[in-house]
A and B are shown apart, each in its own frame.
Chain A
Amino acid sequence: MIDTAIASLTSGGAYALLGVGLVLTYRMTGVLNFAHAVVGAFGTYTAIVAFEAGVGYGAAMILGVAVAALLSGGIGVVMARWFAEEATIVRSTVTIAIFLGVLVVGFRLFGDTPRVVPALLPGVRLEVGTVTLTGSTLLSVGGVAVLAGAVAWFLAKTRTGIVLRAVSERPTTARLLGVPLRTLVVAVWAVSGAVAGAAVTIIAPTRTNDYASLAILILPALAAALLGGFQRVGATIVAGFGIALVELMGARIPAVARYRTVVPFLVILAALLWMQRKEVWDEAR
């Protein structure tokens, strides 16, 4: 059991990172970003291609994260420029179109076969009692800790963070107060893209990593964000680790091992059933 839990930490951390990115873009800019994971996958594949072409390992990884940040920032520009006043459903629909676009462009550039992805921090191992933590696991869990801490600190303590919270609650008011809304929105998108790039790169060596499979990481991320109510960062992180644990426990039972992709779907169903205890109405009167 402990082995399973430890083994699920890498995936769990990545799900949590992706889920937190979804929650942040939803809270700050009112978009459910379906293109989130595919942008991360695009960054990861850029890193792989660069590495295969002879770019140094660290440089390639940084390049990948940077590309994901740029791509996501670009989506942010589109959102801020053309869809600032639209309803959440419209903006989310736009991200579905972008999901498709980035997916297909990636197919063309990267093909649809899995690659050998070098594990991150290959030499690093941490022995705690009988348990061994690999470099990937440490990065994943550490990444979550750093991100969670940074988000909490940023939103509570910095002026920009407070402004961003104001923006998410009252966009028009914030703009009237002279907040440079577009710049902030684009920055949120870029940061969330960078986190997605890092998360997908961490998880890529540990599983089937063709481009489409990595793009489908949007599902566990959505499930985690849904359990966090698209509001709570902490709950999303816990949910990310929980989903990975359930997946891996399933994978160790031979009879259900092949159905691992169903886990996020079942979590989504359960979360929705739980959430609809009370009726919720659309925008205020």
Chain B
Amino acid sequence: MRRGDLVLFGSVAAATVLFALLPPFWAFLASSAFISALLVSSVGVVYGRAGMVSLCQVTFAGIGGWVVGYLGVATAVPYPVALVLGALAAVPVGVVIGLPALRLRGVNLAVVTLGFAVAVSSVVFVQGFPGARTNDPVTRPGLVAGERGFMVFTAAVFLVVAAALLATKRTRLGAAWEAVRHSERATAALGLSVPFIKLSAFAVSAFVAGLAGGLLAAQLGFLNARNVEPVDSLVVFVIGVFVGAHHVGGALLGGVLGSFFPELLRRLSIPQDVGPILFAIGATHILAQGGRGLAEHLGRRRPAAGGDVVVLRPEGGAPTRHRADPGRDLVLRASGIEVRYGAVVALEDVDVEVAQGRILGLIGPNGAGKSTLVDVITGFHRPDAGSVTVGETVLDGLPAHRRARLGIRRTFQTERTVPALGAGDYLRLAAGGHLDRAEVVELLAFLDGPDPDTPVYAVDTGTRRRLEIMGCLAARPTFLLLDEPAAGLTEDESLRLADRLRQVPERFGVGLLVVEHDIDLVAAVCDELVVLDFGRVIGRGAPDEVLASDVVAEAYLGV
């Protein structure tokens, strides 16, 4: 845990003690604040970290509260157990409504969750919560029966959840949430299943919201439909956007806005609905600034881009071990590939072969179909005809992330690293398995990367592009497809990259396919060239011969 976070947790503990000394009314308000903070944290997971819009967080809370109420009336399950069961009950519900929305990109989750919130509210919640009609409130066990004891309990639950969510930031799953927020394509290219990652974020957020509901039910005795209206989900979401719910500090701020702020307005005789209006304005302002919430503005400043980048030089040392079995020289083969967009033929009967340990260059004018071919091989575009195989394995029909896991990695024309991660964490995420610090440092040194702890957003584009290649290499792939790796690099950087790419097959046991316009780089690096023009192969062979041929000159220069 970082120092700032420790201070924050300490302050919460101190504030809890303080409120425990005040009259019970204040303890009640503080409990409300912690419950709201939990709800806002749930927005922080799904929106703040995974970048999806969910508009039914309060409905999940209602489900948690409903189950807690039901268990209280119908069984002898002790309250803390009921609380966890209630939160768990929200998870499968979240999965069921999330599944259809999450395989598609965009704001579908917002649409389906809004519909869900209204449907559950008008069908289930409106009929009353268990225990409400018979006046049978949720009983809180002795220690937490009073307002003060309960407030301490809500504080403890919040702190445990906040600490757990903070801990996930260091895990692979937490890094994957950041990745999916940034780019779904790049996430799949890292070998991660995009639907699974999104679903996990949504499920965790449903759990946290369910906990909040179970606490609310115990705080009030039982819920009624008025406590968990669809509009409350909107309010919680907008507060989450405003404060930066993925930060612990942001969640706490959100809790204060959800609980103490209305009380303040009440005491000032200002209508309470001024609150949501201010939150809406605040959230719009934050979004217009391109920011990730108030907490980010109040907390540590981001270091300026291009800050202290430590460049490590290679120190010789032992060559990297090969994962690929050197005895088995695999061949990646795309044969008879055809892609059509309506009447336009993007690729026609294209055959390409790369062997492990070799470098194939793919060149051709803009629009020749080079990147489309990379998309086809890596599973981002389904061809209309043709087949892709590695050795004996047929890849047709396999989704992109499965191909990445089979050892076929790629980069994109525009870099798609994950800005919020540290360089080392990015490599670990990309590696897909274990990667110790020595390996991280070695990789970073190989391609002139920054210090492992440098955040990705702080390094320049050229370094990010190389980081992306390092990430691919960290996964020990059998084949690596680079889409214009030298684009946007300076001439010096480009020369240096060429030098390093030359070493890649030997060092990492990889077969490389390089799409590139930089003819010098291609000539210096590749063992073989394939030339595409209007979707057809118009030349192939050794670089010298191909580059000297008339067909190629014609395709490129029109002479």
Residues of A within 8 A of B (CB): 32, 34, 78, 82-83, 86, 88-90, 92-94, 96-101, 103-105, 107-108, 212, 216, 218-219, 222-223, 226, 258-259, 261-262, 264-265, 268-269, 272-273, 275-276, 279-282, 285
Inter-chain CA distance A234–B439, complex, in Å, is: 57
CA distance A215 to B128 in the complex (A): 24
Chain B residues whose CB sits within 8 angstroms of the CB of A269 once the complex forms:
97, 100, 112, 115
Residues of A within 8 A of B53 (CB): 89, 92-93, 96
In this complex, the interface size class of chain B, counting residues with CB under 8 Å from chain A, is: 35 or more
Q: Which residues of A contact B276 (CB under 8 A)?
A: 100-101, 104
B139 located at the interface, meaning its Cβ lies under 8 Å from any Cβ of chain A in the complex: no
Contacts of A259 in B (CB 8 A): 122-123
| Chain B minimum-CB-distance residue to A271 | B100
**Distance from A87 Cβ to chain B, minimum over Cβ atoms (Å):** 9
Interface residues of B, Cβ cutoff 8 Å to A: 51, 53, 55, 97, 100-101, 103-108, 110-112, 114-116, 118-119, 122-123, 183-185, 188, 230-231, 234-235, 237-238, 241, 271, 273, 276-277, 279-281, 283-284, 287-288, 290, 371, 375, 380, 399, 412-414, 483
A98 to B103, CA, bound (A): 27
* Alpha-carbon separation in the docked complex, A212 to B105 (Å): 29
Within the complex, which residue of B100, B241, B399 is in contact with A93, where a contact is CB–CB below 8 Å?
Answer: B241
In-complex Cβ contact of B112 among A86, A96, A101, A272 (8 A): A272
| A83 engages B235 (CB within 8 Å) | no
Return B191 CB to nearest CB of chain A, in Å. Answer: 16
Chain A residues with Cβ under 8 A from B271's Cβ?
108
* 21 interchain pairs, CB-CB under 8 A: A78-B284, A83-B288, A88-B106, A94-B288, A100-B231, A103-B234, A218-B114, A219-B114, A219-B115, A226-B108, A259-B122, A259-B123, A261-B119, A265-B116, A269-B97, A272-B100, A272-B101, A280-B104, A280-B105, A285-B185, A285-B414
Given A97-B280, A100-B280, the answer on whether A282 and B105 have CB atoms closer than 8 Å is: yes
A180–chain B nearest beta-carbon distance, Å: 22
B241:A262 contact, CB within 8 angstroms:
no
* Cross-chain contact B413 with A285 (CB below 8 angstroms): yes
* Inter-subunit contact B273/A107 (CB<8 Å): yes
CB distance from B89 to the nearest CB of A (A): 19
**Do A281 and B114 form a contact, CB below 8 Å, given A96-B234, A101-B276, A261-B123?**
no
How near does chain A come to B199, taking the closest CB pair, in angstroms?
13
Listed residue (B103, B111, B371) with the most chain A CB atoms within 10 angstroms of its CB:
B111
B185 touches A101 (CB 8 A): no
Chain B residues closer than 8 Å to A103, beta-carbon distance: 231, 234
A-B contacts besides A98-B280, A99-B234, A285-B483, 20 pairs, CB < 8 Å: A86-B290, A89-B51, A92-B107, A93-B241, A93-B283, A94-B284, A94-B287, A97-B280, A97-B283, A98-B284, A103-B234, A104-B273, A105-B277, A216-B230, A259-B122, A265-B112, A265-B116, A269-B97, A276-B104, A285-B371
Which residue of chain B is the closest to A263 with respect to CB atoms? Answer: B119
- Would you call A262 and B114 a contact (CB within 8 A)? no
> Which chain A positions have C-beta within 8 A of B183?
282
List residues of chain B with CB within 8 A of the CB of A268. Answer: 111-112, 115
A142 to B375, CA, bound (A): 47
Q: Which residues of B contact A98 (CB under 8 A)?
A: 280, 284
Q: Which residue of A lies closest to B280 (CB)?
A: A101
Q: A88-B106, A88-B107, A261-B122 are in contact. Are A222 and B375 (CB under 8 A)?
A: no
A258 → B minimal CB distance (Å)? 8
Compute how far the CA of A276 lies from the CA of B471 in the bound complex, rounded to whole angstroms.
Answer: 30
Given contacts A34-B110, A98-B280, contact A108 B105 (CB under 8 A): no
Residues of B within 8 A of A261 (CB): 118-119, 122-123
Q: CA A89 – CA B399 in complex, angstroms?
A: 25
Tell me the complex Cα distance, A276–B96, Å.
15
- Chain A residue with Cβ nearest B109: A272
Closest Cβ–Cβ distance, residue B1 to chain A (whole Å): 30
Contact A90 B277, CB 8 Å, known A282-B184, A285-B414, A285-B483 = no
Contacts of B107 in A (CB 8 A): 32, 88-89, 92
Q: Nearest A residue to B108 by beta-carbon distance? A: A272
- Please determine whether B104 and A275 come into contact, CB atoms closer than 8 angstroms: yes
Name the CB-closest residue of B to A230. B106
A168 vs chain B, min Cβ distance (A): 16
Closest Cβ neighbor of B484 among chain A residues: A285
Cβ contacts under 8 Å, A275 to chain B: 104
Please report the C-alpha to C-alpha distance between residue A101 and residue B287 in the assembled complex, in whole angstroms. 15
The distance in angstroms between the C-alpha atoms of A94 and B53, with both chains bound, is 11
Could you tell me if B287 and A285 are in contact, using CB atoms closer than 8 angstroms?
Answer: no
CA distance A9 to B259 in the complex (A): 45
Docked Cα-Cα span, A259 to B118, in Å, equals 11
Report the minimal beta-carbon distance from A247 to chain B, rounded to whole angstroms: 13
Complex-state Cα separation, A272 to B116, whole angstroms: 13
Within the complex, the shortest CB–CB distance from B275 to chain A, in Å, comes to 8
| Interchain CB contact under 8 A, A97 and B284 | yes
CA–CA, A101 to B275, complex, Å? 10
Cα distance A285–B276 in the bound complex, in angstroms: 39
> Closest 5 CB pairs between A and B?
A265-B115, A101-B280, A272-B100, A82-B288, A265-B119
With A34-B110, A83-B288, A93-B53 as given contacts, are A281 and B115 in contact (CB-CB < 8 Å)?
no
CB distance from B462 to the nearest CB of A (A): 19
